A and B are shown apart, each in its own frame.
Chain A
Amino acid sequence: MEAIAVAHGAVHGHEEEYTTTGIPHDKMGMWVFLCSEVMFFTGLIGSYIVLRFATPLWPPPASVLNIPLTAMNTFILICSSVTMVQALAAISRGDSRKMKLFLCLTLLFGSIFISIQGVEYWKLVHEGFNPHVSLFGSVFFTTTGFHGFHVFCGVVCMSFVTGKAFLGKYTQASHQGIETLGLYWHFVDLVWIVLFTIIYLI
């Protein structure tokens, strides 16, 4: 077994470790987890598509949902993705000051996204659009709610990682935690890109 083990060096931001795949264990674990998440969201998105095609009287999303507000929220999540990847790039260069700055910005953008989604939900419920009112309401709140929960979990993890960054736990040679969390964060952004198009625009 050892003969096929592959050394994966410090170039990827972690201490030398031996893996049979050539991919660090925590990164591989995150990718496998993300694959299970792909199936989870495929179930939700698939249900939405099937229900929408099967229901003749489906209200146009723009007549119920606030598209400009959500487009702005999409832009904010894209901003958070670019700050996250810049944090990883900064620590890869050994620039811990910029890494902390970009992690804080990512945390801020993630929190703004959740807050805007909260405001959107509050307005919709006050206008009478809730999970009980229609099939659209039910699948809308289920799908976007689960995505919002994922962003919330990401923000909690981001707070933890940012705290560790301020304690000086990440260095140019060892910063796998940032890369692993980054994968999760970008995945959440990617899912939102699909949800925004399918639920809000089509």
Chain B
Amino acid sequence: MSEGGHKTPNYMAIFWWLAGFTAVEVAYSSLLPHTQKVLLIVGLVGFAAIKATLVALYFMHLKFERKSLGIIVGSTLILGVILVSVGMAETLLPRP
């Protein structure tokens, strides 16, 4: 089966991965003691990043698009990360 000049991905498999990761995220958040903040944040952000990447690559077909589109989207994400990092640095770093 072909769609848009590329082989159609197995969308149902992606769907079950997304649903599974959501269930794991909720379980991870409720079972892990909230005193272990770093482990909680790293784990949950990791799961969210995997889910977001699956949606972008397969549902939004970014995996099959031209490299130029990837560069446009990638540079926006880099700017977003810089924006959040600068804000966090402003809050977390000790002031002189």
Pick the contact of B5 from A12, A43, A54 — CB < 8 Å?
A: A12
A78 in contact (CB, < 8 A): yes
Q: Are A75 and B80 in contact (CB under 8 A)?
A: no
Taking CB atoms and an 8 Å cut-off, the chain A residues in 4-31 that contact chain B are 9, 11-13, 21-23, 28, 31
Given A89-B3, A201-B44, A186 and B55 contact (CB-CB distance below 8 Å): yes
Contact between B52 and A193 (Cβ–Cβ < 8 Å)? yes
Contact of B1 among A12, A13, A32, A93 (CB under 8 A): A93
Cβ contact within 8 Å between B59 and A13: no
Known: A78-B22, A197-B45, A201-B44. A42 touches B83 (CB 8 A): yes
Residue from A35, A43, A82, A196 in contact with B73 in the complex, judged by beta carbons closer than 8 Å = A35
CB neighbours of B4 from chain A (8 A) = 11-13, 92, 179
Interface residues of A in 53-67 (CB under 8 A from B): 53-54, 60, 62, 67
State whether B68 touches A194 (Cβ < 8 A). Answer: no
| A86–B68 alpha-carbon span in the complex (Å) | 26
Q: Is the CB of A60 within 8 A of B88?
A: no
Q: Which residue of A lies closest to B3 (CB)?
A: A92
Complex interface residues of chain B between 1 and 27 (CB less than 8 A to chain A): 1-5, 8, 11-12, 14-15, 18-19, 22-23, 25-26
Across-interface contacts of B83 in A (CB, < 8 A): 39, 42-43, 46
For residue B47, give the distance in angstroms from its CB to the closest CB of chain A.
Answer: 7
Residue of B with least CB distance to A81: B59
A135 contacts chain B at the CB level, 8 A cutoff:
no
Q: Name the distance in Å between B56's Cβ and chain A's nearest Cβ.
A: 6
Whether A42 and B8, one on each chain, are in contact in the complex, defined by CB atoms closer than 8 angstroms, is: no
Please state if A183 and B88 are interface contacts (CB–CB under 8 Å). no
B11 touches A85 (CB 8 A): yes
Asked whether B41 lies within 8 Å of A82 as measured between CB atoms, the reply is no
Whether B55 and A190, one on each chain, are in contact in the complex, defined by CB atoms closer than 8 angstroms, is: yes
How far is A39 from B78 in the complex, measured between Cα atoms in Å? 10
Write out, one digit per residue, whether chain B residues 29-45 have a CB within 8 A of any chain A CB (1) or not (0): 11000100000110011
Q: Which of A161-202 contact B (CB under 8 A)?
A: 179, 182-183, 186-187, 189-190, 193-194, 196-198, 201-202
A50/B19 in contact, CB under 8 A: no
Q: Verify B68–A21 contact, CB threshold 8 A.
A: yes
Q: Considering residues B2, B3, B90, which has the most beta carbons from chain A within 10 angstroms of its beta carbon?
A: B3
Contacts of A183 in B (CB 8 A): 60
Least distance between B50 CB and chain A CB atoms (Å): 10
B90: shortest Cβ distance to chain A, in Å?
A: 7
Q: For residue A35, which residue of chain B has the nearest CB?
A: B76
Which 5 pairs show the lowest CB-CB distances between chains A and B? A42-B80, A197-B48, A11-B5, A35-B76, A201-B29
